[in-house]
Amino acid sequence: MTDASRAEDPISGCVKIDYPDFSVLPHAVRTTFESLPTKVNFFRMLGHSPGAFVPVIDLTNAIFRDLTLSDYHKEMLVLMVAVHEQVAYEWEQHVSIGQAAGVRPDQFIAIAEGRIEDADVFKDDERVLLRFGKSILVDGKAHGVQFKNALRRFTVQELSDAILVLGYYRMLAAYIQTFNIPIDAQSDGHWIKG
């Protein structure tokens, strides 16, 4: 059975959704899409939600550019979401981004193995942030004492940013896995633009 016929078989778990035709989408969606420096597969598929396309791109840009939380801390949280939600796409997309932000190979491995308490790999503040993130992912919130402890090391704004990062990437995880979006092509750790 070919992949195409498996995708059409109603009892197969194989999902194949074609990317939308951006030429027929609203002008704001087309121009926003065309202005993207890198058109990753998630953005291509997001065209199926034209009413949300521009706001999601704006949120993506805000998360990449405008947060108080450092890129280093943000990338550790993104990697933790990728592991928690078992999303290879998110992990692979953020290997080069995480490396550029300063995440070390031993930290990638510890996050992948769930060793967020490893004092040989993570500093105290990093472990506090990762515990905070794990509580959000597992329990849906950081409990009061834990939140107060995190506030001793991070500002309210940084922790607010952390929750937005966790929620955004968790939403992406559900979208990516449900639509079975393939990992974008990369060359030497950089996405192939197009």
Helices marked H in 117-155: 124-139, 144-151
Token readout for 29 is 């969606």
Q: What per-residue confidence (pLDDT) applies to 57? A: 97
Q: Decide if 84 contacts 74 (C-beta within 8 A).
A: no
- How far apart CA 48 and CA 101 sit, in angstroms, is 31
Token readout for 147 is 């939140």
Q: Using CB atoms within 10 Å of the CB of residue 169, give its burial: 0 to 12 exposed, 13 to 18 middle, 19+ buried.
A: buried
Q: What per-residue confidence (pLDDT) applies to 7? A: 65
**Percent of residues, the chain, with pLDDT higher than 90:** 84
Q: Against a cut of 0.95, is the pTM above it? A: no
pLDDT digits (tens, 9 = 90+) for 113-140: 999 999 999 999 999 999 999 999 999 9
Q: What per-residue confidence (pLDDT) applies to 5? A: 64
